[in-house]
Structure 1
Amino acid sequence: MGIISSRRRRSRLAPELDDQDLGKLLKYLLATTRSGTIAMTDLCVAQVSRLLERDPGDWDRRAHRMGVLADFLAGSHLPRSWATREPHNANALVLYAWSEVARARSQGSLEDAAVIDSCLRAAELAPEDPTPWVVILGAARLERWEQPQMFRVWNEVLARDRWNREAYLNMLGYLTPEEAGSRIQVLDFVDALCARMPADVPCAATELTAQVFQYHSILGRGGFEALVARNHWSQVMAAQALDRVAHTWVQPGLLRHARALADLNILAYALMAADRRHEARAALEALGGVVAPWPWQAGGDPLTEFEQAQRRAGL
């Protein structure tokens, strides 16, 4: 990752995290949109294509860039236009499909049935790439596929990228009681992962993410349960999940995957929720002011929540 210097910087939402090339592209696309030029010109497509062609074989970095661009372009015609013009370009097909999934998340349903077909065509064009299968997982969650179907797609991802962060988080979300699973299935999934997962892989935050999901579920119930939700972090499994990573993730050089700063945001949030402020301070300092919307947005505006956490931690 290259952990950012602990020198305090102004907090800011940065979907690119510490990916400077992605950040430059997002600024370019935003400036193009603000200038009144529809972001589907040949130059825009060329810029996007150039970035996605970098770092071949780095599936973790590719998924990060593709996911951020898909979220950014979900309301744009660029992905569909590019995929239509270049139907044999795997990058164009995957970006289009992922942007449709991103749009569907906000709308609640997947409107374009061609999304799965686009991913399957991309998988044929780039059979070694796990990303099309990751996008199928996202689409399948929205469509509530049966578990045998989901696990078949899941196995396609793992055959290409054993520790794919997006795949693990998609399956974790799918297995929650709020979607198609149960609390027991979440525990079994996390236990099986932790039993064989190295400490520094891209999906390292799966266990802690599961605990944040459960914490948010308790808050969502309201009433007395929400008032004592902090007690969740004193439970054995939640406390152990924090203990395992609170002092290691903040060490420079340990986390080097593309979304390491997003995982540090999860850690800082969970430590503050558990009132472990001294440990949270180290995580907040390591972030250098880079804020990921989730999970801070659960309490309101993510920047405001993050800055309040900084103050409470004594920064």
Structure 2
Amino acid sequence: MARNRPAQHGDFRPVYHPAGHDQALRVALEDLRTGRWMAMRTLLAHTGTDWALRTSRSQVLAAAAAGSDVVQAWRAEEPNSADALMMRARIMVERALQARRHRHFREEELAQQAREACELAAHCLPDDPVPWVCLLALAQLDEQQLRQEQRVPPPERTLLHGPWQLLQETHIRHPFNREAYQRMLQFFYARAGGSPADALHFVHWVASLVPEGSAVLVLPLYAYARYYRTQRERTGSEADPLVRQQWRRVHIVRDTDRALQGWFRHPDAAPYAALDLNHLAHALWAGSRFSEAAEVFGAIGVYATHQPWMHVTDVPGRADLAEQEFVWARAQCLAAAEAACSRGARYG
């Protein structure tokens, strides 16, 4: 269906960088790409026990370092470094996940090595939630739930069996760790015989527990964006009015409001992740709440993410189309906010 696109705001082009607004992380990533580890070491030392920041930074660092031996070199120089031990677990998990995506013949071997690295890190770093987050990330590889830790009874009988003890271990160390709940959601998507309804039920349960200020309040929006893509694929048409009306349903509006008010606008909000901001901006835009979305686009700045914008493109997986959708949505929302501001100034 043809859509009227608003005038573009200048020559704006989004930037896709894993560090986003985190300049210290950007420096460490640049150092990593040249085979050096000192900036990573310094960054993690300065991050300390800020568990939310340690979790997010280590995840990005591991993705950048997974194809090199830079952490191995760090451990050779400082074999007793707790941060190096944690990063070894992170990288081995990243390699195991990549092996699954590419159906590499060593995927089971790499998964077992990663699991052992996580267990060692958890033993040596008893207060650190990251090794447990890593074990949760590996849970999605056990699609048949063959391992006992993936078949733990749920805290509520209407939920499915899964790696609940791993989630609990993370929660004990860092309540409502953002990545832990993201990994749990990924487990439900990967689980053999599962359905989108399982994932939606999980995020609804989580939403009933999450405190104000937590980034986990955005989690339902991830599930809704994925469900939207699933429904579009089922109907075969983006123009299906029932599919598009999803974003105006009462429970989705409620969860979008909670993410906006309880996280984005909350005075004690957890640090903004670019992916969370993009999901919130998308949900507001898709619900025609353009002025509110413009506020979130302001926080995003130039740092876009391909998801969830890929879910609304005509060809899933096309990064160029996802960028077009982001730029269009941003321009539409900023134009609406400017018009509202002009009306307010004229009649105020």
- What band does the TM-score fall into relative to the shorter chain? 0.7 to 0.9
Letter in 2 for 1:62: R
- Match of residue 21 from structure 2: 18
Query: Which sits farther off after the overlay, 303-312 or 111-120?
Result: 303-312
Which residue number corresponds to residue 231 of structure 1?
245
Larger Rg: 2
The percent of aligned pairs where both chains have the same amino acid is 30
Give the number of equivalent residue pairs.
Answer: 296
Normalising by structure 2, what TM-score?
0.75
1:310 is aligned to 330
Structure 1 contact 97–118 (Cα < 8 Å) conserved = yes
Query: Which of 307, 311, 331 is 1:294 aligned to?
Result: 307
Contact 1:13–1:303 (CA under 8 A) maintained in structure 2: no
Deviation at 1:226, TM superposition (A): 7.2
Distance 2:310 2:75 in 1: 33
Aligned match for 1:62, one of 14, 39, 54: 54
* Pair 1:141 & 2:137 matched: no
**CA 1:89/1:114 → structure 2, altered by over 3 Å: closer, same or farther?**
farther
Higher alpha-carbon deviation: 187-196 or 134-143: 187-196
Preserved contact between residue 173 and residue 179 of structure 1 (Cα < 8 Å)? no
Which amino acid counterpart does residue 162 of structure 1 have in structure 2?
P
**In 2, Cα distance between the equivalents of 1:172 and 1:218?**
18
What is the RMSD computed on CA atoms of the aligned residues? 2.8
- State whether residues 178 and 216 of structure 2, in contact with CA within 8 Å, keep that contact through their aligned partners in structure 1: yes
Given candidates 38, 45, 57, the residue that maps to 1:46 is 38
Q: Which residue does 1:36 correspond to in 2?
A: none
- Report the alpha carbon displacement of residue 224 of structure 1 after superposing the two structures with TM: 3.9
Task: Give the alignment of 1:246-257 within 5 angstroms.
Answer: 246=260, 249-251=263-265, 253-257=267-271
Deviation at 1:168, TM superposition (A): 0.6
Partner secondary structure for residue 308 of structure 2: helix
| AA partner of residue 115 (structure 1) | A
- Residues 202-233 of structure 1, C-alpha deviation per residue, up to 9 Å, x if partnerless? 32211222222212222343514774432221
After superposition, where does 1:1-315 map in structure 2 within 5 Å?
A: 11-30=14-33, 32=34, 39=35, 44-83=36-75, 88-107=80-99, 108=101, 110=107, 111-112=109-110, 113-144=112-143, 145=145, 146-148=150-152, 150-176=163-189, 181-221=194-234, 223-224=236-237, 227-228=240-241, 229-246=243-260, 249-251=263-265, 253-257=267-271, 259-298=272-311, 299=313, 300-301=318-319, 302-315=322-335
Contact 1:261 1:287 in 2 (8 A): yes
What is the alpha-carbon distance in structure 2 between the residues aligned to residue 289 and residue 252 of structure 1?
A: 22
TM-aligned CA distance change 1:193 to 1:94, over 3 Å = same
CA distance in 1, matches of 2:284, 2:191: 24
Q: Deviations over 1:253-273 (max 9, x none)?
A: 45332x444311111112223
Distance 1:136 1:249, change over 3 A: closer
| Change in CA separation of 1:220 and 1:81 when aligned onto 2, cut-off 3 Å | farther
Equivalent residue, structure 2, for 1:3: none
Distance 1:225 1:177, change over 3 A: farther
Which AA in structure 2 matches 1:244? R
Deviation at 1:72, TM superposition (A): 1.5
Unaligned runs of at least 5 residues, structure 1: 1-7, 33-38
Gaps of 5+ in 2: 1-10, 153-161, 336-348
Aligned AA (2:245): N
Deviation at 1:102, TM superposition (A): 2.8
Output the amino acid matched with 1:60.
A
Task: Work out whether residues 17 and 262 of structure 1, in 8 Å CA contact, stay in contact via their aligned partners in 2.
Answer: no
